[in-house]
Structure 1
Amino acid sequence: MKFHTRRPTALAAILLSATLALTACGSDDTGSDSEGGDSGSGGGDLSMTMLPKNLGNAYFDTSTKGAMSAADELSIDLEEVGPETGSPDAQVSYINTAAQQGKDALILSANDPEALCDAIDEARSADVKVITFDADTNPECRDLFINAATSEGIAAKQLELISEQIGGSGEIAILSATANATNQNAWIEMMEAELAENPDYADIELVDTVYGDDEDQKSFDQTEALLQNHPDLKGIISPTTVGIAAAARYLSDSEFKGKVALTGLGTPNQMREFVEDGTVTAFALWNPGDLGFLATYAAAALVAGDITGEEGDSFDAGELGTFEVGADGVVLLGEPFTFNTDNIADFDF
């Protein structure tokens, strides 16, 4: 496991996935305007657009900070744009605009694996390189995918954590993001398969999967509903930073604190108080700042022709080191890392 320190605004780095999405909050470096958002790092020879799933989301604020840091190093003119809500339809107009503006590259976290492909195809036909990060499209729709961690690794880590926290037996539920979120669904499918096939989890039963749509209040309400509908529930996995924070907030002020375990994917800053007060024992994530940083370096290498996106291509990503393109044009950042009371004070993102 490598740890990086870039600068105070670039977040203590961890090579881990995910993404995921956090409680809505602003960012000094990546704020949005009142009409759908737009912030940038400018002055370079290359021009790129950063399109997260939605604005006002601290997870993507962090990934954009990392992207802006890389853009500064590479003298790239990079702007962030995006919708207020996380839906595929809301992203299409921004993809079209990037093509019309003749951007060199579009760095995209996709709200749907299929629905964006027509717009992406038009952008690519206009010589825009399309790099997905955090959440992918179908491989044929884009040039590269910057993956935070393997789906298998993320699913395995979350099951490992919940099993430890509930003593290896009992009912659990999943609080996910949106029903069509590519990464969330992949992780859930793998967790379901692992629960069915791994004898270590024979005494754990997944009783429900619900969706908070990456909205804080809806995720909070879904947590309450899970506990009402499943009185024997022993644990909740929330593989989304919005969901885990909302669920932790509910549990921390309820009779279920210390009785129902909660784990999933979150950031240290958003989860610190819940770890320190005993609501949450441990959770996992990768560094979204590094994910945006890596995606920008990959986009630059692709535009420059240093790589084509073929398996075996390699490129430099600054202080993160050298990375290789894998099968289906996937570049892997790292493996999930566990945060707990022993280490959470060491991180600031």
Structure 2
Amino acid sequence: MFSTRRNTLGAVATAAAAVLLLAACGGGDGGGTADDGDVSVTFLPKNLGNPYFDTSNAGGAAAVEEFGGTFAEVGPTEASPTSQVSFIETAAQQAVDALVVSANDPEAICDALDEASGVGVKIVTFDSDTNPDCRDVFVNQATAEGIASAQVDLITEQIGDEGQIAILSASANATNQNAWIELMEADLEANHPDVELVEIAYGDDDDQTSFDKTAALLQTYPDLKGIVSPTTVGIAAAARYLSTSEYQGEVALTGLGTPNQMREYVKDGTVEAFALWNPEDLGYLAAHTANALVTGEASGPGDSFEAGELGTFEIDDDGVVLLGDPFVFDADNIDDFDF
């Protein structure tokens, strides 16, 4: 599923910074038009300072540079349900051509998105969707079923398909996390009767909170055999705790993480294997999707468009563009990736 693209993130960040001031002054000629060919795209992740979104935003910046647009990155410091609203309102006031958003809550930002759409801003969600009525296209990293199945397969294999496990999620309102967890619960119930899910804990995509939640889970459930953390912040924090504890090598940990975050924990035996897609490619695809909507190359379900080095993609009947299937990282392949 991974492309062979390897961007130098420092160079991309520098280019992004150079155009950020232009974006702050208004970007395109009016939301959704970009008559002069200079498409302005603003990325709004769940929160800033998150390594996952640092990588996806860099991919978006690279794509925008390729098609000659203007890139900006804005966002809250905390991933709360309403923390993105003011940034959406500002983007609408600046008349950017497209807003690319990873939603902290499926409902809380919809009114703001509707207002932005009403002044011509194209709305692309990625990573975590809103209600479909609130956006034009959702760029999905992988199907919910594929992500859930990959995580269940990993944890059940690592614990011998029996025993207690817990889930360490992001926020309780995260649409993507909740969809995956619901499918994981169904899979466990249907196919793994000897595996007991004892708790779903929430680390709010905060490193210290996730670290503390890991400690609490291990103290509360002395027979815990595994933890699944379907969030890059959570799995890294849990691995950090396990790596210096008596539970290293005794309690399995898997979920969704980036190779650069997890490399040391794979090599020291804390983590056997974990999964993810390439977030850089996800941001890259989201930016190209936004460009296709603004320029009219694609307008809705059934339309195809070119996404640079990733090739051709189609918008499905639900207004979704799919990047691909999750990929499993382990000691044999983790050094092949740098993100």
TM over 0.5: yes
Question: What do the CA deviations read for 1:88-113 (whole angstroms, capped 9, x no partner)?
Answer: 31100110111111111100011100
Residue 298 of structure 1 is matched in structure 2 by 289
The offset of 1:196, in angstroms, is 1.2
SS at match of 2:211: helix
Question: What do the CA deviations read for 1:173-201 (whole angstroms, capped 9, x no partner)?
Answer: 00000000010000000001111112xx1
Residue 314 of structure 1 is matched in structure 2 by 304
CA distance in 2 between counterparts of 1:61 and 1:116 reads 22
1:164 aligns with 2:129: no
Distance 1:10 1:343, change over 3 A: farther
Work out whether residues 10 and 66 of structure 1, in 8 Å CA contact, stay in contact via their aligned partners in 2. no
Residue 264 of structure 1 is matched in structure 2 by 255
Distance 1:241 1:336, change over 3 A: same
Work out whether residues 60 and 285 of structure 2, in 8 Å CA contact, stay in contact via their aligned partners in 1. yes
1:182 aligns with 2:195: no
Residue 221 of structure 1 is matched in structure 2 by 212
Work out whether residues 13 and 58 of structure 2, in 8 Å CA contact, stay in contact via their aligned partners in 1. no
Residue 131 of structure 2 is matched in structure 1 by 138
Structure 2 letter corresponding to 1:175:
L
Q: Please show how residues 193-232 of structure 1 align to structure 2 within 5 Å.
A: 193-198=186-191, 201-232=192-223
1:325 is aligned, of 286, 290, 315, to 315
Distance 1:256 1:73, change over 3 A: same
Work out whether residues 313 and 325 of structure 1, in 8 Å CA contact, stay in contact via their aligned partners in 2. yes
Residue 282 of structure 1 is matched in structure 2 by 273
CA distance in 1 between counterparts of 2:16 and 2:179 reads 30
CA distance in 2 between counterparts of 1:163 and 1:39 reads 49
SS at match of 1:88: coil
CA distance in 2 between counterparts of 1:271 and 1:6 reads 19
Q: Please show how residues 228-243 of structure 1 align to structure 2 within 5 Å.
A: 228-243=219-234
Structure 1 letter corresponding to 2:323:
L
The offset of 1:328, in angstroms, is 1.3
Identity of aligned residues (%): 65
The normalised TM-score by structure 2 is 0.92
Structure 1 letter corresponding to 2:5:
T
Question: What do the CA deviations read for 1:129-170 (whole angstroms, capped 9, x no partner)?
Answer: 000000000011100000000000000000000011001111
The offset of 1:45, in angstroms, is 1.2
Work out whether residues 283 and 339 of structure 1, in 8 Å CA contact, stay in contact via their aligned partners in 2. yes
Runs of 5+ unmatched residues, structure 1 = 12-26, 33-37
Work out whether residues 125 and 137 of structure 2, in 8 Å CA contact, stay in contact via their aligned partners in 1. yes
CA distance in 1 between counterparts of 2:299 and 2:177 reads 28
CA distance in 2 between counterparts of 1:247 and 1:31 reads 32
Residue 23 of structure 1 is matched in structure 2 by none
Structure 2 letter corresponding to 1:61:
D
1:343 is aligned, of 308, 330, 333, to 333
State how many pairs are aligned.
326
Structure 2 letter corresponding to 1:290:
D
SS at match of 1:4: coil
